[in-house]
Structure 1
Amino acid sequence: MLHAPDGTGQGLISPLGGIAAEQLANLADQVQERAVEALWSEGAPAVWPSCPAHPDTHPLTATVVAGTAVWVCPKNGATVARIGELGRR
Protein backbone atom coordinates (compact mmCIF):
# COMPACT_ATOMS: atom_id res chain seq x y z
CA MET A 1 0.00 0.00 0.00
CA LEU A 2 1.28 3.46 -0.87
CA HIS A 3 -0.02 6.39 1.17
CA ALA A 4 0.00 10.06 0.23
CA PRO A 5 0.39 12.92 2.73
CA ASP A 6 -3.34 13.68 2.37
CA GLY A 7 -4.16 10.22 3.74
CA THR A 8 -5.25 8.63 0.49
CA GLY A 9 -3.80 5.28 -0.42
CA GLN A 10 -3.34 3.01 -3.37
CA GLY A 11 -2.70 -0.69 -3.34
CA LEU A 12 -0.10 -2.36 -5.50
CA ILE A 13 -0.88 -5.48 -7.47
CA SER A 14 1.75 -8.05 -8.29
CA PRO A 15 0.87 -10.15 -11.33
CA LEU A 16 0.76 -13.89 -10.86
CA GLY A 17 3.34 -15.93 -12.66
CA GLY A 18 6.32 -14.63 -14.54
CA ILE A 19 9.83 -14.28 -13.27
CA ALA A 20 10.72 -12.23 -10.20
CA ALA A 21 12.35 -9.52 -12.34
CA GLU A 22 9.10 -9.02 -14.28
CA GLN A 23 7.14 -8.74 -11.04
CA LEU A 24 9.63 -6.20 -9.66
CA ALA A 25 9.54 -4.09 -12.85
CA ASN A 26 5.74 -4.14 -12.71
CA LEU A 27 5.71 -2.96 -9.08
CA ALA A 28 8.28 -0.26 -9.85
CA ASP A 29 6.05 0.93 -12.71
CA GLN A 30 3.09 1.22 -10.31
CA VAL A 31 5.16 3.15 -7.75
CA GLN A 32 6.41 5.44 -10.52
CA GLU A 33 2.85 6.14 -11.67
CA ARG A 34 1.82 7.14 -8.14
CA ALA A 35 4.93 9.30 -7.67
CA VAL A 36 4.36 11.12 -10.95
CA GLU A 37 0.72 11.79 -10.01
CA ALA A 38 1.79 13.12 -6.59
CA LEU A 39 4.44 15.40 -8.10
CA TRP A 40 2.00 16.73 -10.69
CA SER A 41 -0.66 17.44 -8.04
CA GLU A 42 1.90 19.50 -6.10
CA GLY A 43 2.87 21.51 -9.18
CA ALA A 44 6.34 19.96 -9.31
CA PRO A 45 7.92 18.51 -12.47
CA ALA A 46 6.17 15.16 -12.96
CA VAL A 47 9.35 13.32 -13.86
CA TRP A 48 10.40 10.47 -11.56
CA PRO A 49 12.82 8.93 -11.65
CA SER A 50 14.45 11.53 -13.83
CA CYS A 51 16.66 10.34 -16.68
CA PRO A 52 20.24 11.45 -15.95
CA ALA A 53 20.95 11.82 -19.68
CA HIS A 54 17.86 13.99 -20.23
CA PRO A 55 17.02 15.70 -16.89
CA ASP A 56 13.47 17.02 -16.42
CA THR A 57 12.40 15.84 -19.88
CA HIS A 58 11.17 12.32 -19.21
CA PRO A 59 11.20 9.66 -16.54
CA LEU A 60 13.07 6.39 -16.79
CA THR A 61 11.13 3.26 -17.72
CA ALA A 62 11.02 0.12 -15.60
CA THR A 63 11.67 -3.02 -17.65
CA VAL A 64 13.53 -6.31 -17.70
CA VAL A 65 16.85 -6.69 -19.50
CA ALA A 66 18.66 -10.04 -19.52
CA GLY A 67 16.56 -11.30 -16.61
CA THR A 68 17.17 -8.24 -14.41
CA ALA A 69 14.67 -5.50 -13.47
CA VAL A 70 16.21 -2.18 -14.53
CA TRP A 71 15.50 1.47 -15.20
CA VAL A 72 16.18 2.44 -18.82
CA CYS A 73 16.10 5.67 -20.79
CA PRO A 74 13.09 5.49 -23.11
CA LYS A 75 14.84 7.73 -25.65
CA ASN A 76 18.09 5.86 -26.21
CA GLY A 77 17.37 2.52 -24.52
CA ALA A 78 20.41 2.79 -22.23
CA THR A 79 20.22 0.91 -18.95
CA VAL A 80 20.72 3.39 -16.11
CA ALA A 81 20.50 1.21 -13.00
CA ARG A 82 19.00 -1.92 -11.53
CA ILE A 83 15.69 -1.25 -9.82
CA GLY A 84 16.53 -0.59 -6.18
CA GLU A 85 20.00 0.70 -6.95
CA LEU A 86 19.26 4.03 -8.62
CA GLY A 87 21.50 6.71 -7.14
CA ARG A 88 24.00 4.28 -5.62
CA ARG A 89 27.02 5.54 -7.52
Structure 2
Amino acid sequence: MIKIDGGWKFTSEEKEKLTGPNNHMYGKTHTLEARQKIGDSRKGKSSWNKGIPRKKSTKLKISLSKKGKPTWNKGRKSSLKTRAKVA
Protein backbone atom coordinates (compact mmCIF):
# COMPACT_ATOMS: atom_id res chain seq x y z
CA MET A 1 0.00 0.00 0.00
CA ILE A 2 1.11 3.52 -0.69
CA LYS A 3 0.21 6.68 1.21
CA ILE A 4 -1.62 9.30 -0.87
CA ASP A 5 -3.37 12.48 0.35
CA GLY A 6 -3.43 11.41 4.00
CA GLY A 7 -4.85 7.96 3.17
CA TRP A 8 -3.69 4.59 1.94
CA LYS A 9 -4.18 3.21 -1.57
CA PHE A 10 -3.71 -0.34 -2.83
CA THR A 11 -1.32 -0.82 -5.72
CA SER A 12 -2.70 -2.63 -8.78
CA GLU A 13 -0.79 -5.80 -7.82
CA GLU A 14 -2.32 -5.75 -4.33
CA LYS A 15 -5.80 -5.22 -5.77
CA GLU A 16 -5.28 -8.22 -8.06
CA LYS A 17 -4.32 -10.41 -5.08
CA LEU A 18 -7.58 -9.57 -3.29
CA THR A 19 -10.10 -9.81 -6.14
CA GLY A 20 -12.14 -12.70 -7.51
CA PRO A 21 -11.32 -16.24 -6.36
CA ASN A 22 -8.42 -14.92 -4.27
CA ASN A 23 -10.86 -13.20 -1.92
CA HIS A 24 -11.95 -15.34 1.04
CA MET A 25 -15.62 -14.27 0.64
CA TYR A 26 -15.75 -14.79 -3.15
CA GLY A 27 -18.98 -16.60 -4.05
CA LYS A 28 -20.16 -16.75 -0.43
CA THR A 29 -22.82 -14.86 1.47
CA HIS A 30 -23.32 -14.18 5.16
CA THR A 31 -26.00 -16.29 6.84
CA LEU A 32 -29.08 -14.57 8.25
CA GLU A 33 -27.76 -15.31 11.73
CA ALA A 34 -24.40 -13.70 10.95
CA ARG A 35 -26.11 -10.67 9.43
CA GLN A 36 -28.23 -10.31 12.56
CA LYS A 37 -25.11 -10.47 14.76
CA ILE A 38 -23.39 -7.80 12.66
CA GLY A 39 -26.45 -5.56 12.93
CA ASP A 40 -26.76 -6.09 16.69
CA SER A 41 -23.10 -5.24 17.26
CA ARG A 42 -23.60 -1.82 15.57
CA LYS A 43 -26.77 -0.91 17.50
CA GLY A 44 -26.43 2.21 19.63
CA LYS A 45 -23.10 3.23 18.13
CA SER A 46 -22.84 6.46 16.19
CA SER A 47 -21.28 6.68 12.75
CA TRP A 48 -17.51 7.23 12.51
CA ASN A 49 -17.98 10.58 10.77
CA LYS A 50 -20.72 11.98 13.03
CA GLY A 51 -19.82 15.47 14.19
CA ILE A 52 -16.94 15.89 11.74
CA PRO A 53 -17.68 18.95 9.59
CA ARG A 54 -17.25 18.63 5.83
CA LYS A 55 -14.82 20.82 3.90
CA LYS A 56 -16.29 23.58 1.72
CA SER A 57 -14.83 21.88 -1.34
CA THR A 58 -16.58 18.62 -0.44
CA LYS A 59 -19.90 20.41 0.08
CA LEU A 60 -19.51 22.08 -3.30
CA LYS A 61 -18.84 18.75 -5.03
CA ILE A 62 -21.95 17.21 -3.43
CA SER A 63 -24.01 20.25 -4.40
CA LEU A 64 -22.84 20.17 -8.02
CA SER A 65 -23.47 16.43 -8.34
CA LYS A 66 -27.07 16.87 -7.16
CA LYS A 67 -27.90 19.85 -9.38
CA GLY A 68 -30.59 19.14 -11.97
CA LYS A 69 -31.70 15.88 -10.36
CA PRO A 70 -35.12 15.55 -8.71
CA THR A 71 -35.31 15.01 -4.97
CA TRP A 72 -35.56 11.43 -3.69
CA ASN A 73 -39.24 11.79 -2.78
CA LYS A 74 -40.49 13.62 -5.88
CA GLY A 75 -43.54 11.86 -7.26
CA ARG A 76 -44.06 9.70 -4.18
CA LYS A 77 -47.48 9.84 -2.60
CA SER A 78 -47.55 10.47 1.12
CA SER A 79 -49.90 8.34 3.18
CA LEU A 80 -53.00 9.93 4.70
CA LYS A 81 -51.43 9.50 8.12
CA THR A 82 -48.30 11.43 7.06
CA ARG A 83 -50.36 14.15 5.38
CA ALA A 84 -52.39 14.56 8.57
CA LYS A 85 -49.18 15.04 10.58
CA VAL A 86 -47.92 17.72 8.20
CA ALA A 87 -51.23 19.61 8.01
TM-score where L is the length of structure 1 = 0.20
Q: Which has the higher contact order (CA 8 A, sep 6+)?
A: 1
Q: Which has the higher strand share?
A: 1
The structure with the largest alpha-carbon Rg is 2
TM-score where L is the length of structure 2 = 0.21
